[in-house]
Structure 1
Amino acid sequence: MCLPCSVTSQDYFFKEDGKQVSKTVVDQVCSHFSKLTDKAFDNELKRKHRKLSLGAYLDDAFDEFPLAGTEDGQQVFEWCKRTECTDKACSSLYEVSASQISYYTALEGGFFNTWGPGGYRAILDVLLKDLPSGTIQCNAPVKSIRWDLVKKGHCEDQRYPVQVVCENGQSFEADHVIVTVSLGVLKDKASTMFEPPLPPTKLSAMENLDFGIVDKIFLFFEKRFWPDDCAGVQVLWKEGPEDKDVYESLSEEEAWKKTWFKKITGFDTVARHPTALCGWITGREALYMEKLQDSEIRDICVRLLRSFTGWSVPEVSKTLISRWGSDSHVRGSYTFIPDGVDGVKAHKALASPLPPKDESRGRKHLQVLFAGEATHVNFYTTTHGAYLTGVREAERLISCYAD
């Protein structure tokens, strides 16, 4: 969300002509934008807005705001929508459901947090420290999950209903398997990964939910060139990708590829790295960027910084660019609910174990279970959602044996 606290007075907003937008305008537009998104999250949308995409709702509601009639107001508003795309991991807010996001639950606490020097690795260190050595098998991607083997009689000596086969030839037999791969991987491989095939309801849930991409572009410099009070350089466009007319026109014949860099929201300072900036980009533009060479991405980013700010921007000493969409083990970043989709129904269908309870007579119960952020109705998109669904499935198994 484009919360007022997420845009500080130290953020510099520049237009294409190099002029800086006043902090007053930025604060007013961002604050109003936050109020509009709050209405969607709090399930307070007007009836006429409930069937609209998030982008269409925001456009209609923002038109009533006084600054909507100004160039600066419109450009900051488009930037807010672009920034909201990073929260949703979508190509555009015109593809996201306005009403369904009310099921998402935000936790209390600051909008930003950091794990310190350890990064997200710190979480894994805590979780892994109590596991016996050799518990985790690395470099062994799963090729297929064969289930219902006892009933099907694949082998006379088959004792376990599930067999996990890895690409390196290893196989593991089990009573239960918890599948925690991302929705992106399921979309990519579910049709061939499971034998027998998954039920139509689960395949439909995978198809209906969407799995977006958020990438970061880290630019490292030998020394800091931005003012001491600057926490980020945000770029505003006359015709930004989240302007409705621009979005619709660029969607024709993939014209958006020529201006993919316009999806970059800006360049923020980086904690504990005083000479680094981080650019954010999402959706189809992010996936397109992933195919480019680091040097091309770097040069475009430097050109943007120079043209918008007019500052003397030195050459980049090092780049670090994420490519989540191209990673075959993830295929994206996190889940969002497209316009027209019943998110609750899809999340629950994705989370349901196999075989279904009403079809498990004579078959081993809870053979294949599913966890991951995409299976949580309220905490999808989040790390804690992924963690809690793992706990949920573990408790499901514990309850099964406790009964």
Structure 2
Amino acid sequence: MPAALLRRVVHERPEIRVIAAASLANTVGAGMLMPLSAIYFTGVVGLPVAQVALALGVASCAGMLAAVPLGHLGDRLGARNVLVGLLLGIGAIIACYLLVDSIWLYAPLVTAAQILDRGVAGVAAALIAEAVPGAAERTRARAHLRSVVYTGLAIGTGLSALVLALGDATAARIGIAADAATCVLAALLYLRLPARPPHPAGPRPSPWRAVRDLPYLGMIALFSVLGVVVTMTTFALPLWISADTAIPRVAIPAVFVANTAANMLAQVPVARRVGSRAAAVRAAVIAGAALAVACLLLAATAGTPPLAASALLAGAVAAMLTGSLCANNALFYLSTDLAPADAQGQYQGLVAAGTALAAMIGPGVLTALPLARGAAGWAVLAAVFAAAGIGVAATARAMRERRAT
């Protein structure tokens, strides 16, 4: 294994080393399957694109709704045990993708996979909260693991490009088998962690405690607004560059490379600066401001000569990366710091649901604003991002003051 990759997996805490190894295994498989799944189900199996898109949308909604109850299950049965079960379930479901011959089999399988996957996101975050004391240290651990995730996705995507030389059908089947196998491998790696006793429950523990915590719910909703930056990179920027600017099209893959590299390399350095509640609050405000600047720079690229527009795009990408990194680490800190210790699973499930919500609303918001209205749409989006950052800060301060009294 290359030395740079070893530095991303190895962590001073044994528990985080195990989680990093499991995350790397799982995301290599996911990275292989992501570019190939659409080719397989539409081009090889022959499912209509519209039906696949509808099934994915329904699956995303189901996953978002299931995240909190599955997190609650992790609180009651132990995060490690539930996480292992979820990963084994995902592996079995993905293996069944090879049997799909109609939308009636594809839709329930992809829905079940999304439900379990959202559960994995929340329960894994609760597992980190169990293993690492203190919000600052958890933030650094989660930043380290996020860089591992991007490393795994990059490796998996590279492997998918290699196997595509074997043909669409063979490559997709290899990707499906690899993703299923790596889910099982990740589950086995998690078994190396000690089984911690579940949190003691009251007489009638509610699986919806996090949802009823309205200030926390509001904070996560505001973070979901900031999370639309992910869709800006993957969805809006390629369309904006190709249709509304004179920027050379080679800039599109360059943006993806820069985004992946920054997330691999800069997560931990940024996390080191988010070591307190005050720092996390500042990071949220910076995130909103940076994303607002990115929107305004992108608006300025329209009608600008290629060289100047490319310079503006470079500034926008830098601002987007700054905003994304600050938002991620502010979320890592505040989401565990402001959650009750005995309900981290369901509270982190709510965070996972918020991430899914950002992915769901992103394409619609970006289509309705900048892609449809140009510079005016970018300006509105800039104001929304800035307000969301300020809103996170205000909500977090109010929550902390209320809980301190």
Same fold, TM exceeding 0.5?
no
Looking at CA atoms only, which structure, 1 or 2, has the larger radius of gyration?
A: 1
Which structure has the highest helix share of the two?
A: 2
Which structure has the highest strand share of the two?
A: 1
Q: Which has the higher contact order (CA 8 A, sep 6+)?
A: 2
Scaled by the length of structure 2, the TM-score of the pair is 0.29
Scaled by the length of structure 1, the TM-score of the pair is 0.29
